[in-house]
Structure 1
Amino acid sequence: MMKCKEATQLLSEKLDRPLATKEKVSLAMHTAICSPCRQFGKQMEEMREISKRYIKGKDATTK
């Protein structure tokens, strides 16, 4: 069984690269039973979206 440390690492890497099938399956199994890791994944995705919106807004004001 995957440990939380490994899961959070993969949740972070998932934002930057496609995960291998084995990684996806292991991560899905872990997050299905681990609500803290599930929440961490949601927070990482939210932070990515907030950062994108911030950069877009900043680009619009610098032109």
Structure 2
Amino acid sequence: MKINCRQASRLISQGLDQPLNQWQYVRLRVHLWMCGNCRQFSHQLQLLQQAARKAGRGE
């Protein structure tokens, strides 16, 4: 079952907070493989998460 960009963005955000189950992970990976916009969104959220962690450590 394919997912749309809205569903993918929810899974991307959820995956930052907790591990996705295997089915969610596979569906998201397939979507990201096909969708450059969601790949970019995922990358941007990862960068924000890294920056927030560094800021929290005082780096």
TM range (shorter): over 0.9
Q: Deviations over 1:4-43 (max 9, x none)?
A: 0000000000000110000000000000000000000000
> TM-score of the superposition, structure 1-length normalised?
0.88
Q: Alignment RMSD, CA only? A: 1.0
- Gaps of at least 5 residues in structure 1 are 59-63
Q: Which residue of 2 aligns with 1:32?
A: 33
Matched, 1:42 2:43: yes
Distance 2:54 2:18 in 1: 20
State which structure, 1 or 2, has the greater radius of gyration over its C-alpha atoms: 1
Q: Percent identity?
A: 31
Measure how far apart 1:49 and its partner are: 0.3
**How many Å separate the matches in 2 of 1:3 and 1:49?**
26
| Matched pairs, number | 58
Long gaps (5+) in structure 2: none
Q: TM-score, normalised by structure 2?
A: 0.94
Superposed counterparts of 1:1-63, under 5 Å: 1-57=2-58
Amino acid in the other structure paired with 1:17: Q
